[in-house]
Amino acid sequence: MLRKRLFAWVYPGLSARHEALVEERKRALFRRALALGPRRVLEIGPGPGPNLAHLPPGVEYLALEPNPFFHQALRRRAEALGLGLTLLLGRAEAIPLPAEHVDLVVGTLVLCSVEDPLKAVAEVHRVLRPGGAFLFLEHVAAPGGPYRLLQEAATPLFALFGDGCHPNRETLALIRARFPRVEAEAFALPLPVVAPHVAGLAFKAPSGRPA
């Protein structure tokens, strides 16, 4: 619990540069996702809520945040933006919602730190309505070479002090294995260890089609 408190304290400062680097890409992703007309949005691992600024008033916003030390900041940010917030307790591997309950799931920099990313992706798919979308932006494993070896070596330290963060996960492959349609791009950022990134939208099959 002490590590979670410490992480909640240092994370906003640590993430500020990353948010600046991905701001335009995030804005474009949310614009595409919101064009689908989602009425009920679930975010997994929202932290202090940087993504709330991309949501329009009127959506039903559900937030699943397992670190209780982010909750106060998340509530304050939602209130400042005039967004209704329903805070859910639990983990992405067991989302406390019925099947086909939401139109859009948002997850940015979260699948690196869940205990079981395969199960978390399956849960995201389960709670999405047919035709719904999963918006993701994640740092991922390098394809190989010395940089991948550096990620492997750094993973235990990152996991210990980064609230479970694993820089060596092949997250896009997990998403593609579960969703029939994935529109994604890979890109690099000028950051150590977590430079390779992927971002995009994954779509659940419409009703009546194979999932």
**Mean of pLDDT values over 26-32:** 97
**Mean of pLDDT values over 57-78:** 94
Q: What is the pLDDT of residue 210?
A: 66
Q: What is the pLDDT of residue 10?
A: 80
CATH superfamily, with its number, for domain 2-203? Vaccinia Virus protein VP39 (3.40.50.150)
DSSP state of 192: S
**Mean of pLDDT values over 109-123:** 97
Q: What is the pLDDT of residue 14?
A: 76
157 CB neighbour count, 10 Å cutoff: 12
The pLDDT of residue 88 is above 80: yes
Q: Name the E strands within 27-122.
A: 40-44, 60-64, 85-88, 102-108
Q: What is the pLDDT of residue 9?
A: 75
Reported pTM = 0.95
- Listed by start position, the domains of the chain span 2-203
The pLDDT of residue 4 is above 90: no
Q: Which helix (H) or strand (E) holds 171?
A: helix 171-178
| CA–CA distances in Å: residue 165 to residues 90, 110, 129 | 18, 8, 29
Q: What is the pLDDT of residue 78?
A: 95
The tens digit of pLDDT for each residue in 192-211 reads: 999 999 999 999 999 867 66
Residue with tokens 């659940």: 204
